[in-house]
Amino acid sequence: MPSHRDAGLEEVIRSSLGDEVDSYGVVVKNLVNGAVAEVNSHKRFETASLFKLWVMYEVYKQVELGLLQMDEELLVTPYYAFWDAGSLPVEVCDTLTVREALWAMITYSDNASGFLLRDKVGLGNIHRDLQALGLTESTFRHGDVTSTAADMVLFLEMVVLRAAVSGEASREMLDLMLAQKVRDRLPALLPPGTEVAHKTGNLPEVNHDVGIVYAPQPTYIIAVLSDESGEAQLIALLSRAIYDYFNR
């Protein structure tokens, strides 16, 4: 979608982040008129669990190509179970279907499911598809899984405009993101009932949330990446300030 700068929204972002602004990469895109606000949009961050969005895309692509089936079973070996942080829906040495692993990976940010699916579809395939999609600031290699707010918004725009793999695949991806259970950032301070299709990511040194907010005026994409740990509240406050700007 063609875009133009929204200087007023950019000022809202900078004011909300205050002295922490240099630690953040933020992009917001209005899906009605294409207005965009950017702050450090090309700053690279470790993705943390945001990488699971790319795994999700690759799963749907390989299903579309007939290389993978949604009901195919994946074995949770002790290696994968090691990464469980309490969200794995089965016991070690049990199986998950690809569809069940997708659900756990996106809605609960389950690590074991994420690594199972990543290895099933192939790290190299994911990296090559990122480049083919135009996410040239993103990398997905062992020891180097990074992205920018600009690339995350580009990816989400493909999904929300039903251009990621196919219209049906894009709809299913949005449904998974709408079912997200970790809601302490972008949705936390929004009016009750506001739909947000999003994915969080956090490590000791990073804290992210990216998604689509279905607001009354308008629907918009937002990506907030940070190298500040434990700053969920600031992301929530920023999210509400942006919502109020659009719906004032």
Q: pTM for this one?
A: 0.96
Token pair of 183 as six digits: 């809601």
Q: What is the pLDDT of residues 155-210, one digit of tens each?
A: 999 999 999 999 999 999 999 999 999 999 999 999 999 999 999 999 999 999 99
In the DSSP assignment, the letter for residue 191 is: P
Q: Looking at residue 2, what is its pLDDT?
A: 78
Dist. CA 220–CA 228, nearest whole Å:
24
Buried b (16+ CB within 10 A) or exposed e, 61-97: bbbeeeebeeeeebebeeebbeebeebbbbeeeeebe
Q: Residue ranges of the domains in the chain? A: 4-246
pLDDT value, residue 85? 87
- We find that the CATH architecture of domain 4-246 is 3-Layer(aba) Sandwich (3.40)
How confident is the model over 56-97, as pLDDT tens digits?
999 999 999 999 999 999 999 999 999 998 889 999 999 999
